[in-house]
Amino acid sequence: MVEPLSIIVDEQIAYADKVFSKFGNILLVDGRTIDKEKVKNADILLVRSVTKVDESLLENTKIKFVGSATSGIDHIDTDYLEESNISFSYAPGSNANSVAEYVLNSLIAKSQNSKPSFSLSDKKIGIIGYGQVGSRVKHFMDIFDVKCLLNDPPLFDKTNDQSFVDLEEVLQSDIVTLHVPLTKISEYPTYNLVSDNFLEKLNPNTIFINTSRGEVVNEKALLSFKKNNPEATLILDVWHDEPNINIDLLEKVFIGTPHIAGYSREAKIRATKMLFDALKKFFKTNFNYPKLAEEENISIIPNVSNPDRIIESIILQHWNISEDNISFPHYSNLSDNERPLFYDSLRKNYPIRYEFSNRFIDINQCNNTNIFDDSTVDNLKRLGFKLKKT
């Protein structure tokens, strides 16, 4: 009789116990506590970005498959896995739509918080990194008629696509958003990409967004830039040395969240499904993906006070991103030992967040249905919303 496989799984991977128990015995653990002792007798290791997977963790273990429910893989020593004949899979693009919705939501929140408020269509956005997330951000920006400047040197080398422009031109945009992988050894390293030299090229009132990795930004340089340019706006979802984040920088941000941009329910389920498919292929099984809890498909009755901002109002009604901010007053009152625990607790206890595609806009219940012209309806559909309309 063949012994069932032993599987170590980060407890924050969505539906892990239900989905992966088909392959063997599941042990759910805190991803930050995964160590050699926990994995030494396991066959499969499934992690998220908080677990560093390398030789020091896996040497002299039985692990034959590593999966990461993430789009980035800077926490994985893929060279070591290949040399050790350990199969590896991850979830590229699983959270692309979720992150793009975060960028759009944060910009709408900023536009409405500004005095006077501004229209996104009057802005120019520089998108650095044009993979699955960056391209999705552009899709949303196109809906709002935002001019987009694109920069992605590796992709330009591969495609010679003339729509890409130099970094210096991108940095002159009103908004600059980062969607690059974290790389240190490559032709175009992104570690500390955002340096003094990078920042001095930005406009003094730039809206700067980072949802990629904290180490892409030199935080000391960014803090100096903000102090010298108080009109600049910082929107940060990722930080150096998570969960020990820079409290001085947290104080200066407009939106500062605990690495949850990609945390929509749909993104988590996509990542889990991608790992399930990879395991199924690796072990040559015919397992069926289990049926999960039904989505809610909640209706939104539009509460539109400004007919010129119908779509923005609906988006903020769907998700008030400001509620996801790390509270600086609370965080600053915690001890040095308590702060990382609080940061992790925000991630672990993050409420369920649905993507636009899970929301029905009930136009029939709106006080003024006439404001939903064909163009508005079409753009809501392009964003992913479903519409109820007689």
320 closest CA partner among 99, 100, 109, 104: 109
Of 242, 266, 312, 355, catalytic: 242
Q: Exposed, middle or buried: residue 301 (CB in 10 Å: 0-12, 13-18, 19+)?
A: middle
Q: Is 213 a catalytic residue?
A: yes
CB count in 10 Å sphere of residue 282:
16
Contacts of 211 by beta carbon, 8 Å cutoff, 6+ apart: 99, 102, 103, 133, 177, 178, 179, 237, 238, 261, 262
Of 136, 213, 339, 359, catalytic: 213
Of 136, 240, 259, 353, catalytic: 259
Q: Is 139 a catalytic residue?
A: no
111 closest CA partner among 120, 102, 103: 120
| 194: DSSP letter | B
Q: What distance in Å separates the CA atoms of residue 342 and residue 180, rounded to the nearest whole number?
A: 27
Q: What distance in Å separates the CA atoms of residue 31 and residue 259, rounded to the nearest whole number?
A: 15
Q: Exposed, middle or buried: residue 199 (CB in 10 Å: 0-12, 13-18, 19+)?
A: buried
Structure tokens at 119: 């229209």
User: How far does the chain reach from its first CA to its final CA, in angstroms?
Assistant: 61
Catalytic positions? 213, 242, 259
